[in-house]
Structure 1
């Protein structure tokens, strides 16, 4: 495999660790709340300042009106935006400082307790809470009527001293995908060189040792103090559940309730389970086709066809003519197996996206590759914009790298051990922060906790939520049938979310409404699924 292709594979998979979803599931309850407003002319901006107005104070922080624009170009969310300065290195308060980017969605008029806010913690590692919120705002439509919502771009993400490595692919340089095939040493050297280039570039404005989960937890409590609130409610999504658990373990007296959506246990070493989790999720998702006669008759066995397709691509990657999704122009490129791995992994996050995978694989098995190539290219082009890759490396290299282990049993799996090998190579060149001794110990607490999992989640399966709940006696796990990763906005969950925050009683929730959730049928043709 060429050095360029190998890096693309690892980059795709790293950027997809936690929280990113290209296709959002539809919210199936009531219409979106009335905080959504037109995003204005600049829909691409994470926030668009409104006309000058006197600052609105929340505690000691001054906020100004703004609009949080949807990254997909849809409606935005009316908010108040501000910043809070914190020391990059807590041991050097007079040294370099970071302006944490904040947004506040004030509670609706007549709210009972508007100063008992909800902090939403984004996924990744590497997503920015402010930019992410518009995509999950419908899940807050009931919550926001009664409670303030506070968003903090974790240091290294969004507008909080962004650590982005978008130029890492360019730094690799060198030739066609077919060059240097099979040269593992060259691939590793190129990856290490690109990582060092990114490290050196970012180090001009950041000490990369201080962009870890521990630093983010300290920042969150600094924000809480500045807001003048004694307790907060935490919603962690994906990697954000690690931040939430660490905050709850460090500052339990300042947490009122926890909601962990698609959670990862503290004990987890990010990367070790991903190959196995993907295999399990694909088995469940592809198994739906076998249970539907129209799908089985039209498409056969998706997994067998995927294995056959991958073997063919490894042996002789075909030159494919396809239409580029961004430019609309016809292009040609060889379809490398790494592209299928990235596409399958990312589409598995969402049942709406995964429903087309069996059809795409069937098309590829028949020698029709243009759809696979076009979609994989679109995915690869959009991922770097969604994640702060430098921040992600600061988190993983400091917190997980020493526990990464290749799994011989997964060597022949779709994902294999490429991700682990790539991470270990990159972390050799990346500065590492300090990890607390108890970092990977489970959260043991009596805090009211609601844990949410998707049945078909390929990265944080329901077993993770059950594991976390063992040391949280005041908790409850809800597994959403037929769902993937990030489920807070699915079906009646927005209503249950609000009810839990009102009562802080997970076990008292009547969650029978979730029984109405249905599986998304697999496509049997490009016209959709059968009757």
Structure 2
């Protein structure tokens, strides 16, 4: 799930066209997911769209120069309905890219499609894992074309917007931890204005269709456009929920699926409770990092005990609140930098190093790491767009509490024990309380007819997607294999070096092999400070 510190459709809507019969090759496996599923207008619409895409294919060409994706990666478009209940109505184009498999024709097994999370993340850099010769993916690259895409609303796929990008990134922002009721009222006002901005800048028609089920339907249309009867899929973070929803709606279309760092898919978790659980998990991983910093006090000189490190953090926040560091870095910007440590073990030394330099008198190091680059117009547009999609999908996917007293009660209680992220997370999601389009009922994620065994990968101390989410998906997907990285906390495990995990992921994708029983792996290596 995405955490963010804190353009209109640009001609992406195109006229609908008429399609005749629905070829069976486009709908192999059907969309029924079991006893509770009934065919509806959206089921029919996705079959029509998939048939049309299968017939059209993808016109692959060199990627546009300003996309920053060089040859031999190719780019193209897949046309999908805005509303699958109206397959002949307004359309948008989904941006896709690919690099061909590196093996022989006999070794090739089709396309592997990737989603990195979010909601709001772009998968368009996935093929670069091949061009950069990433050894973890070398064997898999022999078997598959690596395919990335921008989900609806993201990047090049009819990008949505909720605020002026330059205003969105300006700093310093208000301290996310409120001092009083006036601070809370100010944040509530900002959240309501942001929700209204989403409706005004994106349009209610598009905003109402920014859902995970629709993105899953888009994914099935992309599958058909690629000429694939079944999907091979790798999803990380929010990408696990997208994969789970896809597997529920299209169980017979799944060939192999790996989900890594899992969102709890239970209906009563999507999305309000998941975000509350995230606050608890972030605090736990923050505490892990503080203990590590204290262990290496001879390197960083921040504090020799976790309590002393925490005291330094509170002192740093107070300093930034009283006088933003470099005029740009207040408590909100500090959190934007420091939350990367609970997210990824690879950030532990980086964040500690920046903090250590600041304490030694190097203020600029902290400003460079934490302050937004107001001159980076393209980056600021991407940042605002990513946050807009995050908000739109989570707010539209499911009902959220409308009564402020519920938010205030729940977050006040959590903040008392888990203060690191709680209020910042609340304000990020509060636009959902005044959302301007209907909020849907989440999909009932579960095994359906024809769904093969799914591989689930998770670290036990993941902050962004707590371990309980993987356990819940494992329970719902009968026959799935659970690979647990015990006493580790990185978010996104499959891209890291741990042979216990890497070898199994590669074996599954390349040969279909899966252990008969769940597997527990130990961390391959603990974070250490740089040697120089």
TM-score by length of 2: 0.73
Q: What is the distance in 2 between the residues matched to 1:70 and 1:453? A: 35
Where do 1:79-94 residues align within 5 Å? Answer: 79-94=73-88
What is the number of residues matched between the two proteins? 456
CA pair 189-80 structure 1, distance change in 2 beyond 3 A: same
Structure 2 counterpart of 1:393, from 391, 407, 426: 391
Q: What is the distance in 1 between the residues matched to 2:299 and 2:460? A: 21
Structure 2 counterpart of 1:431, from 434, 437, 442: 437
CA RMSD, Structure 1 to Structure 2 (Å): 3.9
Provide Cα deviations, 1:175-232, integer angstroms capped at 9, x if missing partner: 9969x9963323322332244234312218x621112101011112222233332222
Where do 1:7-26 residues align within 5 Å? Answer: 11-12=4-5
2:518 paired with 1:520: no
Where do 1:115-514 residues align within 5 Å? Answer: 116-131=110-125, 133-134=127-128, 138=134, 139-165=136-162, 167=164, 170=167, 183-184=182-183, 185-203=185-203, 207-267=206-266, 268=269, 269=271, 270-291=274-295, 294=298, 299-310=303-314, 313-314=317-318, 317-319=321-323, 332-333=326-327, 335-361=329-355, 369-378=363-372, 385-386=382-383, 388-402=386-400, 406-412=410-416, 413-436=419-442, 439-441=443-445, 447-454=452-459, 456-471=461-476, 472-479=478-485, 482=488, 484-491=490-497, 492=499, 494-507=502-515
Provide Cα deviations, 1:432-490, integer angstroms capped at 9, x if missing partner: 45335xx2545578632222224553212444323322333331314176551122222
Conservation of the 8 A alpha-carbon contact between 1:116 and 1:229: yes
* 3-state SS of paired residue (2:5): helix
Q: How far 1:333 sits from its partner (Å)?
A: 0.8
* 3-state SS of paired residue (2:367): helix
* 3-state SS of paired residue (1:356): helix
CA pair 433-94 structure 1, distance change in 2 beyond 3 A: farther
Which structure has the highest helix share of the two? 2
Please identify, of 102-111 and 129-138, the stretch whose mean Cα deviation from structure 2 is larger. 129-138
Conservation of the 8 A alpha-carbon contact between 1:88 and 1:95: yes
CA pair 202-529 structure 1, distance change in 2 beyond 3 A: same
Runs of 5+ consecutive residues of structure 1 not aligned to the other structure = 1-9, 14-56, 322-331, 523-527
Q: How far 1:396 sits from its partner (Å)?
A: 0.6
Conservation of the 8 A alpha-carbon contact between 1:166 and 1:384: no
CA pair 123-312 structure 1, distance change in 2 beyond 3 A: closer
Provide Cα deviations, 1:220-275, integer angstroms capped at 9, x if missing partner: 22222333322221111111110101111111111122101111120233422221
* 3-state SS of paired residue (1:459): coil
* Alignment match, 2:28: none
Where do 1:70-109 residues align within 5 Å? Answer: 76=70, 78-109=72-103
CA pair 188-510 structure 1, distance change in 2 beyond 3 A: closer
Conservation of the 8 A alpha-carbon contact between 1:86 and 1:98: yes
TM-score by length of 1: 0.73
Runs of 5+ consecutive residues of structure 2 not aligned to the other structure = 7-52
Q: What is the distance in 2 between the residues matched to 1:474 and 1:278? A: 27
Provide Cα deviations, 1:3-32, integer angstroms capped at 9, x if missing partner: xxxxxxx9515xxxxxxxxxxxxxxxxxxx
Q: What is the distance in 1 between the residues matched to 2:396 and 2:239? A: 17
Provide Cα deviations, 1:105-130, integer angstroms capped at 9, x if missing partner: 22234233635322212311001222
Conservation of the 8 A alpha-carbon contact between 1:118 and 1:148: yes
* 3-state SS of paired residue (1:273): helix
Where do 1:40-51 residues align within 5 Å? Answer: none
Q: What is the distance in 1 between the residues matched to 2:337 and 2:276? A: 20
* Alignment match, 1:28: none
* 3-state SS of paired residue (2:346): helix
